[in-house]
Amino acid sequence: MKIDYYQSADGIHIFEFMKNHNQQFNTHFVIGELNRIYQNSEGKPIHIMLNLQAYYRLPLREFVAELKQFYKAVDKSPIMIAIVLQPALVNVVETMVKTTITREAVQNFTKPDLALLWLTIERTKQQSHHS
């Protein structure tokens, strides 16, 4: 699994996942990265985009289960995650996520620019609440 990670000028953490034919999607690694960002955030709001468009097949049950565990562990911290998926996977992931993670915290998209737009809007909303 090859990943490009960078932080945008406005502080959004961006993960671009490239498919490596030899490797499966590594859910534990992804959740480990989310934990690393959370632990370095010092309680500040976090905005993350996971671009998983390169994957037509994902270990969805495992990924969503670990995402739910992550949200349980961080207990209502202001963490917004935009997940960019293949169109066929969006409805499946939305249904699975909806059961225990608030819809406001995790959104699914098919286009990275829409995911970033949503994160930027959420970031602006959170900043206006704190000022």
Tens of pLDDT, residues 25-48:
889 999 999 999 999 998 889 999
Provide the residue ranges of all domains of the chain, joining segments of one domain with +.
2-130
The SS3 assignment for 13 reads strand
Quickly count helices (H) and strands (E) in the chain.
4, 5
Per DSSP, 16 falls in state E
Regarding pTM above 0.75, the answer is: yes
> Can you name the CATH fold of 2-130?
Transcription Regulator spoIIAA (3.30.750)
Q: Give the number of other Cβ atoms within 10 Å of residue 96's Cβ.
A: 17
Residues 77-93 have pLDDT tens digits of 889 999 999 998 888 88
Residue with tokens 């959740």: 31
Task: Considering only residues 34 and 98, tell me which one the structure prediction assigns the higher pLDDT.
Answer: 34
